[in-house]
Amino acid sequence: MTRVEEQLQKSFQSDELDSDHQLGNIIDVQGADDRAGVYSIGAVAKMVDVPAQTLRSWEDRYALIVPVRSPAGQRLYTRDHVEELRFVRDHIQSGLQPADAHRLLAERRRARAADVDETAAGGRRDGLLDESPLAILLAERDPYAAEFAEYFLRTEGYVTTIVLNGDDVTRVLAGNRPDLLVIDLMISGGAGLALCRAVRAADQLPILAVSAIASGDAALEAGADAFLQKPVQPLQFVSTVRDLLGTSAFLRRTASVR
Amino acid sequence: MSDRLSSGSSRLDSILGGGLPLNVITLLSGRPGTGKTILAQQYVFHNATSAQPALYLTTVSEPLDKLLRFGQSLEYFDNSALGDRVFYEDLGQVLTEDGLPGVLARISQLLKQRRPGLIVIDSFKALRAYEEDDAAFRTFLHHLAGMVTAMPVSSFWVGEYDGEQTAQAPEFAVADAIITLGTDRTAEREMRILQVQKLRGSGYHAGKHTYRLAAEGLDVFPRLADPVDASNYGGAQELMSSGVPALDGMLVDGYWRGAATVIAGPSGIGKTLLALHFVVAGAERGEKGLIATFQENPVQLERIMGGFSWTQNDPNIELMYRSPVDLYLDEWVHDFFDTLARTGARRVAIDSLGDLRAACGDELRFREYIYSLLQRCARANISVMMTQEVPELFGVTKLSEYGISHLSDNVILLQFLRGDSELKRAVTVLKTRGSAHLQQLRQYEITPDGAVLGEPFDSQQSLD
């Protein structure tokens, strides 16, 4: 392996991203650790539709939703923070003062903590802990395309398994059925269409076909639910997956918390 | 959505068969000062959006601040785009510390974070120095090309390569499109030349296209080369009066609308006058006319025309004066066609062919230009009259008109003849296409009404 390849593999394995784009790795997602700092203040401001300045002033004033700091001092919000901020925002929108919304949040936290204790003591299990993230099997010929697709799916909260040849698809499907299958039609020298047919004959799981060649008709005929031509726009890719699954993994999880 | 990437210049896009194909790797090659960076930034600012921003990555040849400072003077440079839809980043440090693997890792991150629609690496050539081994550099290229192909991103690799390297450097094999910028030197004149060397999956306009660097970016003039196209030609032909008595007298059947005519003759014989008369006569009948001249500036022209109670201020007449100094033939031709389209001119005087010839380095190219120009005019039924100077004052032995007479419908020779203590002016029609003409040498005179035909010469008239 050349020096270039080694470094490249390293960069693929761990994305040492800028502080404002820090993302949890696969392990974090699988472990459902929503306490890892992930989102920048700018990203959170967009996600919850509250200006960054307001987020900072709430942090100072109520000291309730306090992001962790990156080594460079950047604020990093967790998924839990995002969910709590949505809770606060919704209550303010329904007429509450920010201070009251934060009081409500503090109460909810206490109630949750009691719930968790109860669960630990052998009581009812919380939906959040029970919910496993949605799994996607990515059958992709091109390792670069696979790497980018995996990255964008992961940032949306999906757990992705990559296989680089067609034979592995049937093997993985037999072991652990994913929630959705992405197939590059050119995999294993063009075996993608046959693979679509075989999977569809045995299962109803959603299939998203992709190919560098415009072959949407053939893909749909072979049983795929959707087709995208490569190179695929990340947003379009992720939203197509989301549409096929009904909802994003992240939203599904936060929805189950409410 | 278009599957082409526009440069913001419709002429450049037309050379590239409608624009660069989307999501390909384009190599912009040329020596320092040829405008590579200007062209790359032109693509950046014309295509970047907040959803699909552009990344401009500098390596180690030019400090980023300098690039930005000079970039600001360009019209398309938009300060408000920086940090929103256009991101500049210096890869110099990554490159110094981690070499090419560091560059790959950084680009991989940037592709994920920013999801750019366009990514420029300037200078790409400088990267080669960071890998001793040719094989390792090829591996780097392979990974980089693999990465940018997997994402919907158009890449520009900018490098100061010279001719020899074009054939050898591996990045030229990896690139889908190659655009070179350079200069062509004839005598003491330098012309900027753009060439498309390669464009996968698309037709393009081959050959040398001249360009200028302007505040709005690269202003390119696609070389004129019309394929032989017989459509429309001769469709709406009609014979008419040229409006010039001296000419009508010689052309028995009349003048074909849309014909191309060369008026050859020595200095001072009245070539310009004949051509002007042709345009003015059209304007008097309500036909729009264009005078494309290098010889007389507007003041001089007004003086000449005033002598015949004509005026260039006639709303039916458009004057296109260009100095023959530092003239780009391609630029002139585009100007010419734009003016024709804008004014709807039906009659055109080009004064003179010699000035156009001087602006073109190569005689064969010149003939191709004139051929294309005349073909286009003929298809549009636009009559063209071109003047051509011959060196001999008396006894014209040959027309030094670069084979243009061959491409023209009519060739008219004006010459001086020695008479009884005075110079006489004589007109001969050497050629008419598709109609009859007088096979005579006729005297003509320049009167306040223009050029009028005089008496035939008698048998005593000396012909040299």
Q: Identify the closest residue of chain A to B112 by CA–CA distance.
A: A148
- Same domain? A157 vs A213: yes
Cα gap B382→B16, rounded to integer Å: 29
Chain A contact set for B99 (CB, 8 A): 3
Domain count, chain B: 2
End residue of a domain, out of B155, B189, B221: B221
Does a structural domain hold residue B420? yes
- Same domain? A250 vs A143: yes
State whether residue A77 is helix, strand or coil: strand
Higher local confidence (pLDDT), A135 or A76: A135
Cα gap B288→B355, rounded to integer Å: 24
Helix (H) or strand (E) holding A81: helix A79-93
Does a structural domain hold residue A21? no
**pLDDT at residue A177 greater than cutoff 80:** yes
- Same domain? A123 vs A107: yes
What average pLDDT does the segment A36-65 reach?
83
**pLDDT at residue A87 greater than cutoff 60:** yes
- Same domain? B137 vs B215: yes
| The two structure tokens encoding residue B393 | 């004052």
pLDDT tens across B117-127, in order? 999 999 999 99
Q: Identify the closest residue of chain B to A153 by CA–CA distance.
A: B112
- Same domain? A119 vs A162: no
Backbone torsions φ then ψ of B463, nearest 5 degrees: -105, 15
Does a structural domain hold residue B461? no
- Same domain? B205 vs B329: no
- CB–CB of A162/A37 below 8 Å? no
- Same domain? B135 vs B269: no
CATH number of the domain within which A196 lies: 3.40.50.2300
- Same domain? B119 vs B155: yes
Does a structural domain hold residue B329? yes
- Same domain? B346 vs B444: yes
Angle at A247 between CA A243 and CA A248, to 5 degrees: 105
CB contact under 8 A, B143 and A3: no
Task: For residue A258, name the pLDDT band (cuts at 50, 70, 90).
Answer: very low
- Same domain? B248 vs B209: no
Q: b or e along B323-353 (b: 16 or more beta carbons within 10 Å of the residue's beta carbon)?
A: eeeebbbbbbbbebeebbeebebbbbbbbbb
Does a structural domain hold residue A235? yes
Q: Looking at this predicted complex, what is its ipTM?
A: 0.73
pLDDT tens across B407-440, in order? 888 899 898 887 777 788 888 888 888 777 777 7
pLDDT tens across A103-113, in order? 889 888 888 87
- Same domain? A101 vs A144: no
Best mutation target, A1, A6, A7, to test chain B (most B CBs within 10 A): A7
- Same domain? A229 vs A165: yes
End residue of a domain, out of B172, B191, B221: B221
Higher local confidence (pLDDT), B464 or A148: A148
Residues on chain A bordering chain B, Cβ-to-Cβ distance under 8 angstroms: 2-8, 10-12, 15-18, 21, 142-145, 147-148, 151-152, 230-235
Number of Cβ within 10 Å of residue B449's Cβ equals 11
- Same domain? A123 vs A142: no
Q: Which amino acid is residue A221, in one-letter code?
A: E
Does a structural domain hold residue B228? no
Residues 6+ apart with CB under 8 A from B94: B102, B103, B106
Domain of A89 in residue numbering reads as 41-127
pLDDT tens across B14-25, in order? 999 999 999 999
- Same domain? A94 vs A140: no
Alpha carbon of A115: minimum distance to chain B alpha carbons (Å) = 38
End residue of a domain, out of A104, A127, A150: A127
Does a structural domain hold residue B227? no
| The two structure tokens encoding residue B366 | 């010149």
Does a structural domain hold residue B231? no
- Same domain? A201 vs A96: no
Does a structural domain hold residue A213? yes
Does a structural domain hold residue B67? yes
- Same domain? A196 vs A86: no
- Same domain? B363 vs B395: yes
Does a structural domain hold residue A32? no
CATH number of the domain within which B113 lies: 3.40.50.300
Torsion of CA B202, B205, B207, B208, to 10 degrees: -120
Which pLDDT does position B85 carry in this prediction?
Answer: 95
- Same domain? A157 vs A242: yes
Does a structural domain hold residue A4? no
pLDDT tens across B222-277, in order? 988 766 555 555 555 678 888 888 788 888 777 888 899 999 998 888 899 899 99
- Same domain? B209 vs B253: no
- Same domain? B196 vs B276: no
Best mutation target, B149, B155, B200, to test chain A (most A CBs within 10 A): B149
- Same domain? B197 vs B290: no
pLDDT tens across B61-96, in order? 778 888 888 888 899 999 999 999 999 999 999 999
Q: Which of B104, B139, B151 sits opposite A148 (nearest CB)?
A: B151
CATH number of the domain within which A52 lies: 1.10.1660.10
Does a structural domain hold residue A23? no
Does a structural domain hold residue A3? no
Q: pTM of the prediction?
A: 0.71
Task: For residue B47, name the pLDDT band (cuts at 50, 70, 90).
Answer: very high
Does a structural domain hold residue A13? no
Does a structural domain hold residue B229? no
What average pLDDT does the segment A28-35 reach?
41
Residues on chain B bordering chain A, Cβ-to-Cβ distance under 8 angstroms: 23, 51, 98-102, 104-105, 108-109, 111-113, 115, 131, 135-136, 139-140, 143, 146-147, 149-153
**pLDDT at residue A180 greater than cutoff 50:** yes
- Same domain? B60 vs B200: yes
**pLDDT at residue A62 greater than cutoff 70:** yes
Domain count, chain A: 2
Domain of B375 in residue numbering reads as 239-456
- Same domain? A111 vs A141: no
- Same domain? B207 vs B283: no
